[in-house]
Amino acid sequence: MNKKITVNLAVAIAIIAMTVTFVVTMILSMQLFNRTVSGVREKEIMYNKLSEMDKSARENYYGAVSYTHLRAHETRHDLVCRLLLEKKKTRMPSSA
């Protein structure tokens, strides 16, 4: 049971193993890519619809929105940005 294989056979087995690995990797990568592209297309359609709705709302809204109303719906991100801008304004000397 102490059989030895030739170098050529070892190289052939290694090449077959690499080829199988490459093919399996390519198949899995293509499936992942196709799912990702499909998801991107769906998101693009959704964002286009949202853009149309936003444009329509901006074109057809004639009322004023109070500053207090905007502050009532402020998110944490909006609050941080507003506070940073106010802080920046107080640090900068006015050039009047």
The whole-chain average pLDDT of the chain stands at 84
Sign of CA dihedral 56, 59, 64, 66: positive
Summarised one tens digit per residue, pLDDT across range 6-41 is 999 999 999 999 999 999 999 999 999 888 878 888
On whether the CB atoms of residues 84 and 92 are closer than 8 A, the answer is: no
Q: Does residue 48 surpass a pLDDT of 80?
A: yes
Give me the helices (H) in 1-96, please. 7-60, 67-72, 76-91
Whether the full predicted model's pTM is greater than 0.75, yes or no, is no
- CA 46 to chain CA centroid, Å, is 14
DSSP state for residue 93 in the 8-state scheme: P
In the structure, what pLDDT confidence band is assigned to residue 5 with cuts at 50, 70 and 90? confident
